[in-house]
Amino acid sequence: MSTHEISTAAGLAYRWAGETDTPPVLLVHGYPESSYMWREPIEALAGAGWRALAPDLPGFGDSPPDPPGTWEHHMQALERFVSELALAPVALVTHDWGVLVGLRWACENPNSVRALVISNGGFFADRRWHDLANVMRTPGEGEKLLDSYTREAFDAGMRQLSSGIDERALDEYWKGFDGEVRRHGHLELYRSGDFEKLVPYEGRLAQLGLPTLIVWGAEDRFASIKMAHRFHHEIAGSELEIFPSAGHFVWEDEPAGASAALVAFLDRNR
């Protein structure tokens, strides 16, 4: 049974568990998920003596849209959230788009982060977008795609990508498609995702000198396992945990194993 709670801060809904006097762990979800993806890690972290907090980024989950839905605007939302709750320094846990949002925020706010966890998402200026993202980034084509999404098609597509996503999870993630404003925010997010913006950040993660764990599903169709090895090579002293049978949604496919790896890593670096 879930013991986490849902609250609001800085205009964002967030799930949390743990005592307020324990070290904070900030978990940043990817696309098209919400804080619900962190349900098992939240419980595991609280049980191990950490304070886990997972916001819904604007327009996802239970957070209202806050246009524009750009990469930079999500970073600003994350900063407001951390500031309002006085969380810094945090152990930062990221997945998919949460990697792009969270790591760029960390580089801009190095004193606000004490450890990094990176999962199934890149942070490289020479990366190229996958086919679905390229459609969303194309004016006209992206609108057609988002307008065509039905609940049935969404469910089928997500189930093809992850065996761990159940009906409750689909209910939660479909919230991000409720209405034109939320859907348009998805296009704004991807269309702001120019990897050239990462050129100034090259080498910055390594320079942070933070304990770093890389968690990856080896069967990822969107963020190749090569990215995991690249992170591991570029960040000295980083740890690498690969789940061979998991795909892009590693926290859904291997929730117990990934949560255990996360807790063990943070406990070693408490």
* Pair 46, 20: CB distance under 8 Å: no
- Give the mean pLDDT of 80-101: 98
What CATH number is associated with residue 12? 3.40.50.1820
Q: Which of 265, 127, 122 is nearest to 205 (CA)?
A: 122
pLDDT of residue 92: 99
Instruction: Flag whether pLDDT at 1 surpasses 50.
Output: no
The total of structural domains in the chain comes to 1
Average model confidence (pLDDT) for the chain? 97
Dihedral (C-alpha) 239, 78, 90, 255: value to the nearest 10 degrees?
Answer: -50
Which tokens go with 152? 């049935």
List, edge to edge, every strand of the sheet that includes 239-243: 5-9, 12-17, 51-55, 24-28, 90-95, 113-119, 212-217, 239-243
Q: What is the pLDDT of residues 98-151, one digit of tens each?
A: 999 999 999 999 999 999 999 999 999 999 999 999 999 999 999 999 999 999
Q: Predicted confidence band at 2 (pLDDT cuts at 50, 70, 90)?
A: low
- Give the mean pLDDT of 163-168: 94
* Structural domain harbouring 260: 5-268
Q: What is the pLDDT of residues 244-268, one digit of tens each?
A: 999 999 999 999 999 999 999 999 9
Q: Model-level pTM?
A: 0.97
